[in-house]
Amino acid sequence: MFVTAAYAQQSTTTEGNEAHDAATAGEVHTETGVAHEGEHGSGVFPPFDSSHFASQVLWLAITFGLFYVLMSKVIIPRIGGILETRHDRIAQDLDEASRLKGEADAAIASYEQELANARAKGHSIADTAREAAKTKASADRAGVEAELAKKITAAEARIAEIKSKALADVGAIAEETATAVVQQLIGGNVTKAEIAAAVKASADN
C-alpha cells in the first residue's frame, strides 16, 4: 500500500501536530470519506470533501453556462455556416461541371454530325464526278471509234481504187515488156496484136 503509506507519511511530516488526523486519513482512501464531512478538509479524500461542493457547482454553472452560450451563439453558427457555404459551393461547382460536360457532349455530337455530313457529301461528289468522267470517256471513245471507222472505210476504198488501177496497168506493162523481150530474143517482127493476145492468154491462165 504505497499510496497509503506515502499519504500517511506526508501528513505526519507536514502536519505534525495533527498526527491523529493523519492516521485516520490513511484509511479514508478505502472508506467513503463521508464520515469526515464535518471536519474542514485536511483529512478527507479531496474529491469527496463536500465543503467545496457548493463553490464547485456555482463556478461550474457560471463557466459551463458561459461556454454553452458561446457555443450556441457564436461557435456553432459560425462552423455551421462555414460547412454550409462549402457544401453549397461544392454543389454549385458540381452543377457547373455537369453543365459544361453537357455542353462538351453537345459540341462533340454536332461535330460528329458535321463530320458524317461532310463525309456523305464527299462521297456523293466523288460518285458524280466518277459517273460524269465515265460518261464522257465512253462518248469520246464512241466518237473516236466512229471517226476511225470512217477513215478505215475511206482508206479501204482508196486501196481498192489503187489496186484496180494497178491491175489495169499490169496488162500494158506486160505487153511492153513482152515486146521488148521478144525483140531482144528473136529480133522478129511480132505484131502488137499477137503480143497482146499472148499476154492476155497468160494473164487469163
Partner 1 sequence: MSNDPTHQFLVNKIVPIEIGGIDFSFTNASLFMVATVGAAAGFLYLTTSQRGLIPTRMQSVSEMSYEFIASMLREGAGNHGMKFFPMVFSLFMFVLTANLLGMFPYFFTVTAQIIVTFALAVFVVGTVVLYGFYKHGLGFLKLFVPHGVPGALLPLVVTIEIISFLSRPISLSVRLFANMLAGHITLKVFAGFVASLSAFGALGIGGAVLPLLMTVALTGLEFLVAFLQAYVFAVLTCMYLNDAVHPGSH
Residues that bind partner 1 in the complex, under the rule CB under 8 A: 2-3, 6-7, 9-11, 29, 41, 45-61, 63-64, 66-68, 70-72, 74-76, 78-83, 85-86, 89
> In which region does residue 170 sit, left (phi positive, over 0), alpha (psi from -120 to 50) or beta (all else)?
alpha
Angstrom distance (rounded) from CA 69 to CA 6: 44
For partner 1, give the closer residue by CB, 54 or 186.
Answer: 54
Asked whether 45 and 20 are in contact (CB, 8 A), the reply is no
Q: Minimum distance from CB of 40 to partner 1 (Å)?
A: 10
Angstrom distance (rounded) from CA 164 to CA 167: 5
Q: Minimum distance from CB of 44 to partner 1 (Å)?
A: 10
Which whole-number Å values give the CA distances from 98 to 95, 101, 112, in the listed order?
5, 5, 21
For partner 1, give the closer residue by CB, 54 or 201.
Answer: 54
Q: Minimum distance from CB of 73 to partner 1 (Å)?
A: 9
- How many of the other CB atoms lie within 10 Å of CB of 78? 10
Q: Minimum distance from CB of 88 to partner 1 (Å)?
A: 10
Query: In this structure, which amino acid lies at residue 80?
Result: G
Q: Quote the DSSP letter at residue 191.
A: -
For partner 1, give the closer residue by CB, 74 or 116.
Answer: 74
Which whole-number Å values give the CA distances from 181 to 173, 174, 190, in the listed order?
12, 10, 11
Q: Minimum distance from CB of 125 to partner 1 (Å)?
A: 57
For partner 1, give the closer residue by CB, 65 or 122.
Answer: 65
For partner 1, give the closer residue by CB, 79 or 129.
Answer: 79
For partner 1, give the closer residue by CB, 76 or 197.
Answer: 76
Q: Minimum distance from CB of 101 to partner 1 (Å)?
A: 23
Asked whether 24 and 43 are in contact (CB, 8 A), the reply is yes
Dmax (CA) for the chain in angstroms is 203
